Structure 1
């Protein structure tokens, strides 16, 4: 016969494995959602945060309606600087947001590797990387919005803009989930 202590120990071990796998699956699911939102906003919507018949404003476009020509006219950097938009500010915003997409693309591979090796230092590095991506994305968005705020109203934003905000929320949720995983791992496997 199997003793109750033996059954209890096996159940505890099974519960720990299920919790660990559930947290890792949640982290990967959040990563997939983040990647999908970023791809939608920056590739499908082409980085346009405003796409209306009278204006198209994004990381690569700044087009306003020209009354005399009767069409949408895209402005180059020379015209944007004359309007008070900083070229370095726009480049910084673009690089920050698109670099975040690159990091997000490789993130699931890193999570899978760290899960397989089960290194706590790897999870701490993931937490740092998530924080870095969150700062990059929010910094890029804020810089862009500060540069273009005179021409954009809150009702003008496309789904791509809201996808970037959703990405920001999912990055924050991933930070919370990884922190929970680290806390759980510390209490179940202190060494």
Structure 2
């Protein structure tokens, strides 16, 4: 592989990873900020990380339940709080992730890319864990057809995280291949003149 072609592949993978990070961040902003964490947002039901509202036939209106009602219904408040912490922690990681990627790219440290891969795996685990805990707690009141844009955006975020993991893995393989087949006449290989 020519030197120019190697550089192009490296830049392409780097730009691709940044675009994927931007996509995941946009999806998380939509789900957690624009939709206010609501995974179900229908006229007769609004269920999310901060809302649990069901249709009240007597009042003919949407009635939001408070924590004591949720406990009576069998929903664990620590479980909902833990799910909320996991999902919103993933959002915080996503905000600072592009800065870290740019730093690692500037320093060209291969170990930094391994750390990025670990961060992506952690983000995927805490996002899926938070969603899983929340869905386990509220599954009695949510049908699969009830999910709206917030839920779909979080599922899309997980897909984007998986694609990012694959891209960074490809980048690590490319960097290893490039390092093993590097010419002995590069600037790094030449002796330093005093």
Please tell me the TM-score bracket, short chain as reference.
over 0.9
Q: Which residue is 1:7 aligned to?
A: none
Q: Which residue is 1:113 aligned to?
A: 103
Alignment partner of 2:166 out of 164, 173, 176: 176
Alignment partner of 1:155 out of 120, 127, 145: 145
RMSD, aligned CA: 1.1
Q: What's the TM-score, normalizing by structure 2? A: 0.91
What's the secondary structure of 1:65's corresponding residue?
strand
Across the two proteins, how many residue pairs are aligned to each other? Answer: 181
Q: C-alpha offsets along residues 75-110 of structure 1, whole Å, 9 cap, x if unaligned?
A: 111110100000110001000000100000110000
Q: C-alpha offsets along residues 111-144 of structure 1, whole Å, 9 cap, x if unaligned?
A: 0000000001100000000000000000000100
Q: Which residue is 1:67 aligned to?
A: 57
What's the secondary structure of 2:46's corresponding residue?
strand
Q: Matches of 2:119 and 2:67 in 1, distance apart?
A: 33
Q: What's the TM-score, normalizing by structure 1? A: 0.93
Alignment partner of 2:19 out of 4, 8, 29: 29
What's the secondary structure of 2:162's corresponding residue?
helix
Greater helix proportion: 1
Structure 2 unaligned blocks of 5 or more: 183-194
Q: C-alpha offsets along residues 48-92 of structure 1, whole Å, 9 cap, x if unaligned?
A: 000111110000000011111221111111110100000110001
Q: Matches of 1:54 and 1:168 in 2, distance apart?
A: 28
Structure 1 unaligned blocks of 5 or more: 1-10
